[in-house]
Amino acid sequence: MKELVDILHTEGLTLVVRSEDGELHRFTQRGVKDLLTLVTEQPQVLHGAIVADKAVGKAAAACMVVGGIRQVHADVMSEPALKLLEAHRVTASYGQLVDHIINRAGTDWCPMERLSRDIDDPAVIIQKIKEFFKSH
């Protein structure tokens, strides 16, 4: 995991995934878009993977759970994300644990955190994320 976290930071990435086959995948988009793309278009990349991420809220955690990752480290993780990951037996660690992820402006909740906060089923959360992106 330390290697993935080092890559995340030294290369200025937002997400690093080591697939079960050992291949490294690097991502730079903010938010859950890269994870959503992986879950829906390349699920084999996440299955059994270990992940290092800048920020993991509940929506990102839902993508990871549905994708079948086995371990994640986040610089910042929300408490709802940690609870969801633990409930699905995903090993999770973090640099900072927060009540919720904030939006990019730093003025309110992250929209993904808000839309997922009252939903416990990861598949339903992913459906809500897809609906959000279709309407925005």
- Going from N- to C-terminal start, the domains of the chain cover 2-135
Q: What single-letter amino acid sits at 113? A: E
In terms of pTM, does the model score above 0.85? yes
What's the residue count for the chain?
Answer: 136
Residue 22 half-sphere exposure, CB side, CA atoms within 13 Å? 0
Look at residue 30 in the predicted model and tell me its pLDDT: 87
pLDDT tens for the chain, 136 residues long, are 999 999 999 999 999 999 999 999 999 998 899 999 999 999 999 999 999 999 999 999 999 999 999 999 999 999 999 999 999 999 999 999 999 999 989 999 999 999 999 999 999 999 999 999 999 8
Contact indicator for 50, 18 with CB cutoff of 8 Å: yes
For strands 71-78 and 91-98, give the pairing: parallel
Q: What is the CATH number of domain 2-135?
A: 3.40.140.30
Look at residue 56 in the predicted model and tell me its pLDDT: 97
Contact indicator for 28, 49 with CB cutoff of 8 Å: no
Look at residue 136 in the predicted model and tell me its pLDDT: 83
Cα end-to-end span (Å), the chain: 35
Bridge partners (DSSP) of residue 18 are 24, 50
